Structure 1
Amino acid sequence: MVRTVPPNEEARSVFERLGYAVSGDGPEFVAERKWRSVRVRTLCAEDAARPGALDAEYGLECLVTWTDCVDELDDHLSEQSPDGEWAIIGVDDEGEYEVHRAA
């Protein structure tokens, strides 16, 4: 199944359950806890194929995508080799998640 809508609400839920304060709306937000601030972006694998889509603007970046898109997203990340520290989290329809690539 091809997913064209990124997992926005699922991503927010993951970070809130981990104790982060979440600010911002839509497919991009900031999650903060203690001294750590992470820019979180939700996307589908085809979103990552766009030129410049993975440019880092923050010290810590986290991409959240559907579980079935993780491998393709990881391939795009490896090809583009953006600066910064990165993590990829895959989520499913029930909100369960798994970190697939850590910074």
Structure 2
Amino acid sequence: MPKNWTDIPFKVIPVIQELMASRISVWIYSGDTDGRVPMTTSRYSIDKLQTSVKTPWYPRMYEGEVDGYVVGYENLTFVTIRGAGHFVPSYQPARGLAFFSSFLEGKLP
């Protein structure tokens, strides 16, 4: 991280904790082929939040196919997008749009 960046936190975990404590619903997503921020890193970070699962893992469907998986926690949802890399909309535009539409509508995908 450049040394002159002072307006963003170096670690995002405290920011997510603050949002969750304020009862703001947080969605974290990962493309399952993302080499920059792999799903395992996202899951490890979520584990550090020490929150319990409210909705167990389940597959998301899009046009009759599994297009990822979802797990829900208290004020946090983790979504994977199948076949997507770091820039989900460029790798999987239709699946990315379905995911973002769900987020904007406030509905679990």
Instruction: Report if TM-score (shorter chain) is over 0.5.
Output: no
Higher strand share goes to which structure?
A: 1
TM range (shorter): 0.3 to 0.5
Task: State which structure, 1 or 2, has the greater radius of gyration over its C-alpha atoms.
Answer: 2
TM-score by length of 1: 0.35
Higher helix share goes to which structure?
A: 2
TM-score by length of 2: 0.34
